[in-house]
Amino acid sequence: MSKPFISICIPTYQRPHLLKTLLDSISIQNYRDFEIIINDNSKDDSVEQLLKSYVDKLPIDYVRNNPSTTAAENTNTVMQRANGEWIKLMHDDDWFETADALQQFADAAKRSGKDFIFSGCTQVWLDSGKKQIDLLSEEKKQWLTESPFCLFYLNVIGHPSATMHKKDNSVLYDTGIKWVLDIDFYMRYFKKHPGYHYIDACLVNIGKDPSQETNKYYKNRNVELPEFFFLLAKYEQDLDLKNRHVFHLIWNMLKRYKIKDPQEIYDAGFKGTLPARIEKIIACQKYIPDIILKQTPWSKKLVLRCYKKIAADYIKTGKTMHHDL
Residue pLDDT, tens place only, 41-91: 999 999 999 999 999 999 999 999 999 999 999 999 999 999 999 999 999
Q: Report the run of H or E that residue 37 belongs to, with start and end.
A: strand 34-40
pLDDT at 240 over 80: no
Rounded Cα gap, residues 198 and 185, in angstroms: 17
What is the model's pLDDT at position 269? Answer: 96
Residue range 16-41: mean pLDDT, rounded: 98
**Residue 49 and residue 12 in contact, taking contact as beta carbons nearer than 8 Å:** no
Q: Kindly calculate the radius of gyration of the chain based on its CA atoms and give it in whole angstroms.
A: 21
71-98: b or e for each residue (b if 16 or more CB lie within 10 Å)? bbbbbbbbbeebebebbbbbbbbbbbbb
Asked whether residue 323 carries a pLDDT value surpassing 60, the answer given is: no
For residue 23, pLDDT beyond 90? yes
Q: What tens digit of pLDDT does each residue of 255-299 get?
A: 999 999 999 999 999 999 988 788 889 999 988 898 998 888 888
Helix (H, G, I), strand (E, B) or coil at 151: helix
Residue type, position 246, single letter: V
Backbone angles phi, psi at 263, to 5 degrees: -60, -30
Least confident of 16-25, 26-35, 149-158: 149-158
User: With 60 as the cut, is the pLDDT of residue 320 above it?
Assistant: no
315: left (phi over 0), alpha (psi -120 to 50) or beta: alpha
Q: What is the pLDDT of residue 312?
A: 67
Average pLDDT, the chain: 92
Mean pLDDT of 190-214: 92
Instruction: Tell me the percentage of the chain whose pLDDT exceeds 90.
Output: 73
- Pairwise pLDDT comparison (121 vs 2), residue with the higher score: 121
Helix ranges (H only) for 212-270 are 221-234, 236-239, 244-256, 263-267
Which amino acid is present at 279? E
Band the pLDDT of 170: cuts 50, 70, 90: very high
| Three state DSSP letters for 63-96 | EECCCCCCHHHHHHHHHHCCCCCEEEECCCCEEE
How many other CB atoms sit within 10 Å of the CB of residue 112? 15
Residue 244's pLDDT band (cuts 50, 70, 90): confident
Higher-confidence position of 315 and 202: 202
Provide the pLDDT for residue 235.
84
pLDDT digits (tens, 9 = 90+) for 302-318: 988 888 887 666 545 54
> Cα separation of 264 and 241, whole Å?
20
Residues sharing a CB contact under 8 Å with residue 67, sequence separation 6 or more, in sequence order = none
Per-residue confidence band for 324, with pLDDT thresholds at 50, 70 and 90: very low
Interval 110-156: pLDDT, tens: 999 999 999 999 999 999 999 999 999 999 999 999 999 999 899 99
pLDDT of residue 204: 99
Between CA 84 and CA 210 the distance in angstroms is 34
CB-count exposure of residue 239 (10 Å: 0-12, 13-18, 19+):
middle
Q: Is 40 helix (H, G, I), strand (E, B) or coil?
A: strand
Output the DSSP codes for 102-124: HHHHHHHHHHS--SEEEEEEEEE
Domains of the chain (ranges plus CATH)? 6-211 (3.90.550.10), 219-316 (no CATH)
Residue 238 three-state SS? helix
CB 123 within 8 A of CB 134: yes
C-alpha angle with apex 53: 48 to 58, nearest 5 degrees?
95
281: CB partners within 8 A, 6+ apart: 247, 250, 251, 254, 306, 310
Q: Do 105 and 33 touch, CB atoms closer than 8 A?
A: no
